[in-house]
A and B are shown apart, each in its own frame.
Chain A
Amino acid sequence: MTGLDCRVVVPERGVDVAFAVPAGQTLALTGANGTGKSTVLDALAGWLRPEAGHARLNGRTLFTAGTGHDSWVPARHRRVGYLTQDARLFPHLSAEANVAFGLDRAGVVGRAARRRAARAWLERVGVGELAGRRPHQMSGGQAQRTAIARVLASEPQLVLLDEPLAALDAQVVPQIRALLAEVLTGRTTVLVTHHAADAEALAHATHRIARAAPARPPTA
């Protein structure tokens, strides 16, 4: 089957979450703080090995755990793009070089071709004129636009968004939200968010993680 199908079990964080995302659709993952939304994304990205569960992306197994014959695909072979609330651009590289960084995996070969592709992506996310800027010369919104271009330029088969609008100034949030809605069309995406407005604007469906039963009774 195409799309994403996963279950992530991390008992020490009280996480046991299972969901599926049809190919090309966006699922919003919501729930209170501490319910393990970021834990799920880390497991899908390949930064955290769950105690049990599995993830399959377009028929490929990303990991299986707790079955006796576990498997684990390292992050760099997953083709899973991860966008966090802080853009995490490489501070020593220009916007263009940041975007070009992931073009290798997309199969773009040659300096001129990489340059063209990076520029095209920067144009597409609305910061074409900032190609030569370093991250510290950009506003938060510009940096996040560049980060969006970078993650999509690497042609991921799954996009993970962890509160992508949370660190931005309120006045740029609607623009970046609209940009995400546009560029994520047709991409398999998991979006972690606190905001109903984000889920409504970007997601086809919402999976709400219930608060897990506390491991210890709360102190009175």
Chain B
Amino acid sequence: MSITREIPVRPPLALTVVGVLGGAALLLPFVALVAGVDLRRLPRLLTSPEALDALWLSLRTSLTATAVCLVLGIPLALALNRLDFPGRSLARSLVLLPLVVPPVVGGIALTEAFGRRGLVGEHLHALGIEIAFTSAAVVLAQVFVSLPFLVVALEGTLQTRGEAHERTALSLGASPARTFLTVTLPLMGPGLLAGTVLTFARALGEFGATITFAGSLQGTTRTLPLQVYLERETDPEAAVALSLVLVAVALAVITLAYGRRRVRLP
């Protein structure tokens, strides 16, 4: 035990009590969830064909959506952070729109854009491409709601890191592509990791936009959250069991994103 200790400035006792209550409000529902699971029935509940279909679909679509978000999000964050163009601050706010609108509204908007009679969907339909009510629609809905998470995380990293190292690289004669690959991208490391797992978590939990835009077809668009919602009517115990899976994944994601000791980059 160390002998020298700094004296922290403590908040008033009453505030501490309220703070503990706040913490309890966050954790109590999860405690209840875990307590509500019948462990003996758990394996059977989690391996029903419907549950396995939903689990597999969720995993596939969320991973695909995360990959799409990375491909789109890194260039978008760079453009918003590094390019000087008129309306940049407006664009930065608009990127957050899917984060703040209710997901069901996002689903309606996606339908208006990519549905059979939608702005883009109409033309895709003429080409014989259908998106609505397919697994592609699930991915699209997930990308729509989770891309802002990644962009915000990456923009924060770019902002704190600044441009000094990139300037050094360019002054040493490196091409913009080499500078991006060998300097910008590695230095985004910690933000990229945190952003990626948050994006995956958000995609995995997507419900509102998915059910609105993609529907709820077993094996095609009925992801885990949709399955939980459906089971709630017919088999509440199964709903609890599946919820537990989502909580476990969320816990793993938080540990991965924040629990890991940050790489030291002076």
Contacts and interface: CB of A to CB of B under 8 A. Distances in A.
B183 A76 contact: no
A-B interface, 7 closest residue pairs, ranked by CB to CB distance from nearest: A105-B173, A102-B172, A76-B170, A91-B265, A92-B186, A136-B266, A75-B170
Interface of B: 164-165, 167-176, 182-183, 186-187, 189, 264-266
A174 to B, nearest CB: 25
19 contacts: A46-B171, A74-B170, A75-B171, A76-B172, A76-B175, A77-B173, A80-B171, A82-B167, A82-B168, A88-B165, A88-B168, A90-B169, A91-B266, A92-B186, A101-B169, A101-B182, A102-B173, A135-B266, A154-B172
A62 to B, nearest CB: 13
Interface string A87-104: 010111000000001101
Interface in A137-191: 150-151, 154
A196 to B, nearest CB: 28
A151 B173 CA distance: 10
Given A90-B165, A104-B173, 11 more contacts: A47-B167, A74-B170, A81-B172, A82-B167, A82-B168, A88-B164, A91-B266, A92-B187, A92-B265, A101-B172, A105-B173
A188 B171 CA distance: 16
A136 B264 CA distance: 8
Nearest to A155: B173
A104 B265 CA distance: 25
Contact of A82 (B171, B186, B189): B171
A43 interface: no
Interface residues of A, number: 25
Contacts of B266: 91, 135-136
B174 to A, nearest CB: 6
Which of B167, B186, B187, B265 has the most A CB atoms < 10 Å from its CB? B167
A205 B266 CA distance: 36
B171 A76 contact: yes
A90 B172 CA distance: 12
A79 interface: yes
Contacts of B174: 76, 101, 104
For the residues of B in contact with A, the DSSP-based class is helix
A81 B170 CA distance: 10
Contacts of A88: 164-165, 168
A78 B169 CA distance: 13
Nearest to A150: B172
A151 B182 CA distance: 17
A49 to B, nearest CB: 12
A105 B179 CA distance: 14
Given A88-B164, A91-B265, A91-B266, A81 B183 contact: no
A150 B169 CA distance: 11
Nearest to B174: A76
A78 to B, nearest CB: 8
Contacts of B264: 136
Contacts of A105: 172-173
A102 B170 CA distance: 9
Contacts of A81: 171-172
A75 B186 contact: no
A215 B47 CA distance: 77
Nearest to A42: B167
Nearest to A81: B171
Contacts of A199: none
Contacts of B171: 45-46, 75-76, 78, 80-82
Contacts of B189: 92
Contacts of B165: 88, 90-91
Contacts of B170: 74-76
A78 B165 CA distance: 17
A46 B164 CA distance: 13
Kindly name the residue among B168, B169, B189, B264 whose own CB sees the greatest number of chain A CB atoms within 10 A: B168
A107 B187 CA distance: 26
Nearest to A77: B173
A209 to B, nearest CB: 23
